């Protein structure tokens, strides 16, 4: 938490549009919570979807008041705008903040049309391939572009997403501020040790969707005797992946809460996620903080923090044999493994601790509205 000397005497109010929020956990949801919990001189409200009847329609989570609405994704922009309009009448927001240029972005855009004097902050957290996003919005593409051009401030979690903002017509400076990691939580009791080449555990933490390349890790095991894989996460490809893994040493753990992930990372030897696309990739940073060497693909925002041979190793996209080659490099070269682990841990501590990231968000984003 920031020292009281940095706080403003008058509390500002910011309304967040986010399609999902806790108890649903993803990179964007974690980022919003870490940021709002640490900035106590701003009152945050949020309008999000109510995915489950057990989720309260209104509740306070940390420093954010959550308003959940019963709606489909397609109707969210309209229903969220209507609620926001009523809340603004009572609360008089100093800014609105859209988490991603999706349905939440459309809701914020509608609000901006109605209240043009209220600053509009857009955060780009997208992990899907940009061509895929463009195909999804092709029928409303001119309106979609206005989410970018009508934003007063755009913050992107990677240079890759910043380039997208400029491609979509945003003319001002894009603030590149990454997601972070709770360094203390992930580094607790971590000690670098030699790899036991007879009992190697690979680990990946991701939703079981095509873009995360889990299928390629499973197929890589065919080239790697005496190596097992532990998969943390759930998703629509679970049945297909379990069938693919028949006869191979693969453990499907299922959904694991953010608080439990460090324990599993500390029990593994190498982290792998051969993504087809990635906006940033908080899971990689978490694994680095936990002292694991990381193997990844050179796509999207991953290149912001992974330097081949220095803070991790690159494998090729959709190439299981390439994954196996990099695993064997780590098994056969203890010095390389140690250098990668130490460089990555140092980098995470110096650049990606949430306290540092939130300070940047406050100074470069929220203090400007």
Residue-wise pLDDT tens for the chain (369 aa)?
A: 444 434 444 689 999 999 999 998 888 999 999 999 999 999 999 999 999 999 999 999 999 999 999 999 999 999 999 999 999 999 999 999 999 999 999 999 999 999 999 999 999 999 999 999 999 999 999 999 999 999 999 999 999 999 999 999 999 999 999 999 999 999 866 554 555 556 899 999 989 999 999 999 999 999 999 999 999 999 999 999 999 999 999 999 999 988 899 999 999 999 999 999 999 999 999 999 999 999 999 999 999 999 999 999 999 999 999 999 999 999 999 999 999 999 999 999 999 999 999 999 999 999 999
Residue 1: the pLDDT is 43
Distance separating alpha carbons of residues 246 and 224, to the nearest angstrom: 15
Nearest to 230 by CA among 257, 258, 209, 200: 200
Kindly list the strands in the beta sheet with 175-176, ordered across the sheet, starting from the edge strand earlier in the chain: 58-61, 64-69, 42-49, 12-17, 95-99, 120-124, 153-156, 175-176
Q: Which two tokens stand for residue 263?
A: 């324990």
Burial of 350: CB neighbours in 10 Å, binned 0-12, 13-18, 19+:
exposed
Residue with tokens 């809340």: 87
Residue 9: the pLDDT is 45
Residue 198: the pLDDT is 67
SS (H, E, C) the chain: CCCHHHCCCCCEEEEEECCCCCCCCCHHHHHHHHHHHHCCCEEEEEEEECCCCCCCCEEEECCEEEEEECCCCCCHHHHHHHHHHHHHHHHCCCEEEEECCCHHHHHHHHHHHHCCCCCEEEEECCCCCHHHHHHHCHHHHHHHHHHHHCCCEEEECCHHHHHHHHHCCCCCCCEECCCCECHHHHHCCCCCCCCCCCCEEEEEECCCCHHHCHHHHHHHHHHCCCEEEEEECCCCCHHHHHHHCCCCCEEEEECCCCCCHHHHHHCCCEEEECCCCCCCCHHHHHHHHCCCCEEEECCHHHHHCCCECCCEEEECCCCHHHHHHHHHHHHHCHHHHHHHHHHHHHHHHHHCEHHHHHHHHHHHCHHHC
Distance separating alpha carbons of residues 115 and 135, to the nearest angstrom: 29
**Cβ(83)–Cβ(65) under 8 Å?**
no
Distance separating alpha carbons of residues 231 and 61, to the nearest angstrom: 29
| pTM (2 d.p.) | 0.91
Pseudo-torsion of CA 20, 26, 32, 37, nearest 10°? Answer: 110
Residue 57: the pLDDT is 96
Residue 26: the pLDDT is 86
Q: Residues with Cβ < 8 Å from 320, sequence gap 6 or more?
A: 216, 217, 219, 220, 222, 223
Phi and psi of 109, rounded to 5°? Answer: -65, -45
**How far is CA 322 from its chain centroid?**
25
Q: Which two tokens stand for residue 137?
A: 């919005």
Distance separating alpha carbons of residues 193 and 205, to the nearest angstrom: 22
Q: Residues with Cβ < 8 Å from 339, sequence gap 6 or more?
A: 310
Nearest to 37 by CA among 63, 12, 8, 74: 63
């Amino acid at each position: 938490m920031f020292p009281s000397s940095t706080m403003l005497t008058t509390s500002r109010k910011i309304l967040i549009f986010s399609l999902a929020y806790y108890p649903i956990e993803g990179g964007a949801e974690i980022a919003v919570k870490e940021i709002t919990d640490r900035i106590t001189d701003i009152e945050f409200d949020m309008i999000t979807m109510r995915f489950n009847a057990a989720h309260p329609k209104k509740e306070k989570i940390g420093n954010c008041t959550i308003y959940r609405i019963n709606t489909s994704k397609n109707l969210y922009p309209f229903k969220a705008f209507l609620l926001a309009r009523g809340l603004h009448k009572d609360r008089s927001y100093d800014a609105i903040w859209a988490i991603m240029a999706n349905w939440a972005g459309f809701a914020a855009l509608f609000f901006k049309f109605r209240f043009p004097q209220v600053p509009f902050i857009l955060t780009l957290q997208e992990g899907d391939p940009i061509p895929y996003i463009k195909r999804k919005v092709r029928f409303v593409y001119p309106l979609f572009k206005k989410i970018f051009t009508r934003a007063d401030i755009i913050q992107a979690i990677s240079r890759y997403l910043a380039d997208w903002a400029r491609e979509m017509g945003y003319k001002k400076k894009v603030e590149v501020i990454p997601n972070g990691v709770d360094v203390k939580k992930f580094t607790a009791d971590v000690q670098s040790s030699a790899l036991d080449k007879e009992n190697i555990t690979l680990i990946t933490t991701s939703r079981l969707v095509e873009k995360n390349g889990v299928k390629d890790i499973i197929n890589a095991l065919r080239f790697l005797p005496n190596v097992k894989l532990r998969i943390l996460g759930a998703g629509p490809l679970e049945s297909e992946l379990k069938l693919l893994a028949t006869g191979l040493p693969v453990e499907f753990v299922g959904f694991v809460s953010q608080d439990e992930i460090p324990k599993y990372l500390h029990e593994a030897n190498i982290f792998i996620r051969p993504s087809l696309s990635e906006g940033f990739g908080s899971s990689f940073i978490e694994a680095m903080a936990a002292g694991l060497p990381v193997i990844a693909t050179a796509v999207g925002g991953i290149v912001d923090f992974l330097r081949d041979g220095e803070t991790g190793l690159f494998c090729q996209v959709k190439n299981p044999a390439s994954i196996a080659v990099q695993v064997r490099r780590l098994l056969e070269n203890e010095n390389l493994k140690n250098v990668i682990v130490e460089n990555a841990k140092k980098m995470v501590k110096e650049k990606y601790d949430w306290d540092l990231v939130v300070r940047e968000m406050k100074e470069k984003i929220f203090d400007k509205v």
